[in-house]
Amino acid sequence: MTAPVRAAPSGAATFARAVHQVLVLNASYEPLNVCSVRRAHVLVHKGRAEVLERQAEPLRTATNTYVRPHVIRLVQYVRVPQTVKRRISRRALFARDGWRCVYCGTAAGRLTLDHVVPRSRGGDSVWENVVTACAPCNLRKGDRLLEELRMSLPRAPRAPAPVLFIRLALHRVPDTWSAYLPVTDEGHQPDGSVSSAAAA
Ligand SMILES: [Zn+2]
């Protein structure tokens, strides 16, 4: 028997929608994704997840009353491949890079997507080869390689962690989720530093 879950009323505010979403953490507490209350309830009911945070209002079925989960944690660790192919979007890319040009640091003006190794030089459209660039830097770089321009990257580009997509999908992060959603991924990867000097 599946528990009937009230659908969010149409035209509901973002907050109301968030009430019907559940944050899913890996066994390691790393944020994985967001799912529906119904899906979360099934996972908990099957013993595959535990409830870390609940909502005040219980989940009622015709015959029973259950905890309404808001944050759950998988009991078994789910291996998330590093190469998980999340489609590249400008919004996610700009968010990953902190909404700044990676070359000059400006947050002003129009931001663009730049292929570090230009496509004309064999560069792929993968997270590891795309960065946020302001229009002037993108124009200046053109079809050339960084070492040809003495330009450098503050850090090696890489695919964003799931938490970035979770944050982007939400207009407002519920208060109870904040503690579980690290903000360190958004363009701040101090260990991934790369420069053309180091590459030379
Ligand atoms: Zn720039």
Q: Tell me whether residue 156 is in a domain.
A: no
d(CA 172, ligand 1 centre) in Å: 29
Residues 132 and 70 in one domain: no
Residues 10 and 77 in one domain: yes
CATH code: domain of residue 113:
1.10.30.50
Q: Tell me whether residue 1 is in a domain.
A: no
Q: Which residues of the chain have pLDDT under 50?
A: 1-16, 185-200
Between the CA atoms of 166, 160, 119 and 148, what dihedral angle is there, to the nearest 10 degrees? 140
d(CA 139, ligand 1 centre) in Å: 9
Q: Tell me whether residue 37 is in a domain.
A: yes
Q: How far is CA 51 from CA 29, 72, 170, 190, in A?
A: 12, 4, 21, 33
The domain tally of the chain equals 2
pLDDT at 57: 92
pLDDT at 171: 77
Helix (H, G, I), strand (E, B) or coil at 171: coil
d(CA 162, ligand 1 centre) in Å: 27
pLDDT at 85: 65
Full residue range of the structural domain in which residue 120 is found: 90-149
pLDDT tens, residue by residue, 2-38: 444 444 444 444 444 556 899 999 999 999 989 999 9
d(CA 135, ligand 1 centre) in Å: 7
State the chain's mean pLDDT as an integer. 82
pLDDT tens, residue by residue, 110-128: 999 999 999 999 999 999 9
